[in-house]
Structure 1
Amino acid sequence: MTPLSISGPNLEATLKILRSGGIRGHERVALWLAPAVAKPYRVSEVFEPEQETAKDYFRLPPHSMKALMTRLRTGRLKVVAQIHTHPGRAYHSDVDAEWAIVRHVGALSLVLPRFASATTLENFRDEVMTYECAPDGDWTLVPNTGPQARLEITA
Structure 2
Amino acid sequence: MVSSADSFRLSWLGWWRLVGQLRRRGRGIRESGAFLLGHRHSGPGVVTDFVFYDEIDPDALSRGHVHLSGQALGKVWDRCGVRGLEVLADVHTHPGSAGQSDSDRAYPMIAIKGHTALIIPAFARSATNLRGVGVYRHLGAGNWISLPSPKAGWRGITF
Normalising by structure 2, we get a TM-score of 0.79
Residue pair 1:21, 1:115 contacting (<8 A) in 2 also: no
Alignment correspondent of 1:154: 155
1:27–1:116 distance in 2 versus 1, CA, 3 Å: same
The CA deviation string for residues 118-146 of structure 1, in whole angstroms up to 9 with x for no partner, is x12x32x222011111255512111126x
1:26 paired with 2:27, answer no
The CA deviation string for residues 69-124 of structure 1, in whole angstroms up to 9 with x for no partner, is 1101112211111111111121111212333222323221111111011x12x32x
Q: Which moved more, 1:24-33 or 1:37-46?
A: 37-46
1:78 to 86, 104, 115: 86
Alignment correspondent of 1:109: 117
Listed as ranges, the matches of 1:110-149 within 5 Å are: 110-117=118-125, 119-120=126-127, 122-123=128-129, 125-144=130-149
Structure 2 alignment gaps of length 5 or more = none
1:8 to 12, 18, 34: 12
Residue pair 1:105, 1:137 contacting (<8 A) in 2 also: no
Give the deviation of 1:13 after TM superposition. 1.4
Aligned length: 147
Alignment correspondent of 1:49: 53
Normalising by structure 1, we get a TM-score of 0.81
Match of 1:14, as an amino acid? Answer: L
SS state at 2:18 partner = helix
The CA deviation string for residues 45-77 of structure 1, in whole angstroms up to 9 with x for no partner, is 12213341233x201223322211110111221
Structure 1 alignment gaps of length 5 or more = none
Q: Matched residues, percent identical?
A: 23
